[in-house]
Amino acid sequence: MKRTWYAYPYVVWLLIFIVVPLLLIVYYAFTEITDEGVRFTLNNIIRLRDPIYLRVFLRSVWLALISTIACLLIGYPVALILASKEYRKKRILALFFVIPMWINFLVRTYAWMTLLEKNSAINVILNFLKLPPLNILYTDQAVVLGMVYNFLPFMVLPIYSVLVKLDKSIIEAAEDLGANYFIILRKIIIPLSLPGVMSGITMVFMPAITTFVISRLLGGGHYTLIGNLIEQQFIFTGDWNFGSALSFVLMIIILLSMLIMRKYDKDYEGGGAIW
């Protein structure tokens, strides 16, 4: 108890770089500058009802959802394999997963631009094999691909760490009682790894819904997501109030989705939540 002052530097840091900026966003979101000075307004929020912006929001949520689901579908089996007895000793596969994370995220995304080009290596090979070329650069597919590629480790790692810690005797007990691998997977492993799945989903969904780099590079200029819209307001348009309003609504969306996740998590943990 006496040592709480150790935390003070962090508290100061927290105040300056997190709490104050958040308050500023709220402040800007609900004010506007008029000739008489600054005054409170809801106009910035009301402006969001414009179908153009609504569509941007919807598309962002939609693409983030698809990416998250894709990450889960790919990531879960990968985590299972990585956590299995055979691979745990050899770290090779795990290393393959981590190495790309050492390379800057922008560089990797630029690499995808090159790979998806009209005359890319992939298309040369496809052409050689007499297969139709892949032309997805600057489409939704490319954006989703970029997100899945970049965020997959954030799905795999939390699930992996839960799976690795799973008490092996629980699985042995299930085997002992006559369960085959699929029953064990369905009744024991998946339910017990849900906390990992939940944090994986959170860690993919959040950066996916806020990204503006992937959508700009792989989606081309016309594929605007909320992230791009916010960036635009602050950097090019200079409308900080509207930008803040967008950010504020985005934060609300994220908070709501976290709450929903939390609720499902609780429901599950309760098991017999009847009483």
Partner 1 sequence: MQQEPIIRLVNVSKDYNGTEALKSINLYIRKNEFLTLLGPSGCGKTTTLRIIGGFEQPTEGEVYFEGKNITNLPPYKRNINTVFQKYALFPNMDVEGNIAFGLLVKKVDKKIIKRKVAEMLELVNLKGFEKRSIDSLSGGQQQRVAIARALINEPEVLLLDEPLGALDLKLRKDMQVELKKIQQYLGITFVYVTHDQEEALSMSDTIVVMKDGEIQQIGTPEMIYNEPKNAFVADFIGESNIIPGRMVRDRVVNFSDRDFECVDTGFAENEMVDVVVRPEDVKIVKREEGMLEGEVESVTFKGVHYEMMVRTKGYRWMVQSTLMEPVGAKVGLKILPHDIHIMKRAVSE
Instruction: List contacts with partner 1 (CB under 8 A).
Output: 167, 169-170, 172-180, 183, 187-188, 191-192, 268, 271-272, 274-275
Of the pair 19, 170, the CB lying nearest partner 1 is at: 170
Amino acid at 232: Q
Of the pair 238, 270, the CB lying nearest partner 1 is at: 270
Give residue 175's Cα distance to chain centre: 36
Of the pair 16, 190, the CB lying nearest partner 1 is at: 190
Of the pair 132, 271, the CB lying nearest partner 1 is at: 271
Of the pair 5, 275, the CB lying nearest partner 1 is at: 275
Query: Phi then psi for 41, rounded to 5 degrees?
Result: -160, 155
Of the pair 53, 76, the CB lying nearest partner 1 is at: 76
Cβ-based neighbours of 50, under 8 Å, separated by 6 or more: none
CB of 264 to partner 1, least distance (A): 14
Query: Phi then psi for 180, rounded to 5 degrees?
Result: -90, 180
CB of 200 to partner 1, least distance (A): 18
Cβ-based neighbours of 229, under 8 Å, separated by 6 or more: 53, 56, 246
| DSSP one-letter code for 32 | E
Beta bridge partners of 32: 39
The span from the CA of 117 to the CA of 210, in Å, is 25
CB of 187 to partner 1, least distance (A): 8
CB of 183 to partner 1, least distance (A): 6
Query: Phi then psi for 38, rounded to 5 degrees?
Result: -85, 135
Q: Are 142 and 120 in contact (CB under 8 A)?
A: no
CB of 83 to partner 1, least distance (A): 18
CB of 223 to partner 1, least distance (A): 42
Q: How many CB atoms lie within 10 A of CB 127?
A: 12
